[in-house]
Amino acid sequence: MKIKKLTALISAAALLISGCSGMTKKEDLTYTDTLFDTVISIEILDPVDKSVIKGCEKLCKEYDAKFSKSNEDSEISQINNAKGKFVEVSDDTITLLEKGMYYGDMSKGLFDITIGSVSKLWDFHAEKPSVPSQKKIKSARRHVNYRNIMIVDNRVKLTDSKASLDVGAIAKGYIADRIKDYLVSKNVKHAIINLGGNVLVLGTKTDGSKYNIGIQRPFDETGEPITSVKVADKSVVTTGTYQRFFEKKGKLYHHILSPNTGRPCKNNLSSVTIITDSSLTADAMSTTCFLLGYEEGMKLVNLLDNVDAIFITDDNEIHYSDNFLKNN
């Protein structure tokens, strides 16, 4: 049995770094950490006071404390452990949950932030991960329904006391957008926010050229890109089977779970990359489109304005959305 966990070896990050080469920085304005279940990096390319990058660190740790399902004191954990009672939470958590419910509606339930009862059965971080029994999966699936989230002002409860929130498919996007807002408020015009492959670039590079963001070749452990996109002031987010998985008895089990089966989603996709202004939109849409599958996911993207997509099928064929082909 083999296991692969999400690491900092992401081609998007590698290409971003190479794309910034040649610039002279007076001081280090980079923050790197392990938060949100992944390795993160924020780099400011403008000459600003170091307090700005310290502010980014403070924000990241605050959001991790609110949204982490592994932190028993986080607001998400408090809701999960409240046994159906109301919990008062921050505006950030309310907004995040409302966005999650919006994408639940858009996807007709395929995107479901109450997948927690199922996702906790699949421990992709274990040294020896195992496949949960069908009996356990069937039982857990009964508690997956985002409509069980009740919000009244700043109070939240799960009307099913055994339901469990897991906001991993949307939280990093929300956080990246808030960090961008903070940097803009500090008059930063050029920066790279990379939250474990959820990439958001502020403006262009300092020489006015676009960033070159690599899309990783699925299952290539060197992080070699299969293609790349040139962007400015955009977010690029990829959901892929290769990001977190394990193999057992010759079968691969990845982390993108279907609420319909409680098991890794089976279709002909290896990854979906979304390019748009909002990192939250890119984050949620990459997962939604993966769960919808190539045909339905591409149909959805082609209906939306200002959303580009790259689908990579399991034969390593690259498929571009209509808007991507028009804009590139």
8 compared with 280, residue with greater pLDDT? 280
Lowest mean pLDDT segment, chosen from 12-26, 148-162, 201-215, 218-232: 12-26
Residue 250: the pLDDT is: 87
- The residue-averaged pLDDT of 231-250 equals 92
Mean pLDDT (the chain) is 91
- The residue-averaged pLDDT of 259-283 equals 96
Q: Is the pLDDT of residue 327 over 70?
A: yes
Contacts of 62 (CB under 8 A, 6+ apart): none
DSSP 234-296: -EEEEEETTSSEEEETTEEEES-B-TTTSSB--SSEEEEEEEES-HHHHHHHHHHHHHH-HHH
Residue 140, token pair as written in the block: 């857990």
pLDDT band at 27 (very low <50, low <70, confident <90, very high): low
Angle at 123 between CA 197 and CA 262, to 5 degrees: 90
- CA–CA gap between residue 298 and residue 319 (Å, rounded): 9
Cβ proximity of 221 and 31 under 8 Å: no
Q: Is the pLDDT of residue 9 over 60?
A: no
What is 2-47+191-327's CATH superfamily? ApbE-like domains (3.10.520.10)
Q: Is the pLDDT of residue 184 over 50?
A: yes
Cβ proximity of 40 and 194 under 8 Å: yes
Which of 282, 265, 258 shows the shortest CA–CA distance to 173? 282
State the number of CA atoms in the 13 A half-sphere of 285 facing the CB: 27
- The residue-averaged pLDDT of 63-89 equals 95
- The residue-averaged pLDDT of 95-120 equals 97
- The residue-averaged pLDDT of 258-283 equals 96
Residue 65, token pair as written in the block: 């404390």
Taking CA atoms, 293 is separated from 239, 296, 311, 320, in Å, by 12, 6, 9, 14
Residue 197: the pLDDT is: 82
- CA–CA gap between residue 113 and residue 297 (Å, rounded): 19
Domain ranges within the chain, ordered by starting residue: 2-47+191-327
- CA–CA gap between residue 254 and residue 124 (Å, rounded): 8
Percent with pLDDT over 90 in the chain: 80
C-beta pairs of 137-142 under 8 Å, 24+ apart in sequence: 137/261, 137/262, 137/263, 138/262, 140/262, 141/117, 141/259, 141/261, 141/262
- The residue-averaged pLDDT of 41-55 equals 96
Q: Is the pLDDT of residue 271 over 50?
A: yes
Residue 3: the pLDDT is: 39
Place of tokens 């040139």: 230
Which of 298, 152, 170, 187 shows the shortest CA–CA distance to 237? 170
pLDDT digits (tens, 9 = 90+) for 202-215: 999 999 999 999 99
Residue 70: the pLDDT is: 85
Taking CA atoms, 224 is separated from 8, 17, 247, 268, 321, in Å, by 13, 14, 22, 21, 22
Contacts of 59 (CB under 8 A, 6+ apart): 175, 178, 179, 182
Residue 221: the pLDDT is: 83
- CA–CA gap between residue 150 and residue 242 (Å, rounded): 34
- The residue-averaged pLDDT of 234-249 equals 92
Q: Is the pLDDT of residue 28 over 90?
A: no
Which of 301, 312, 306, 299 shows the shortest CA–CA distance to 278? 306
pLDDT band at 323 (very low <50, low <70, confident <90, very high): confident
pLDDT band at 175 (very low <50, low <70, confident <90, very high): very high
Residue 125: the pLDDT is: 81
User: pTM score, two decimals?
Assistant: 0.91
- The residue-averaged pLDDT of 6-20 equals 43
State the number of CA atoms in the 13 A half-sphere of 180 facing the CB: 24
Place of tokens 């809701």: 79
Which of 26, 86, 35 shows the shortest CA–CA distance to 206? 26
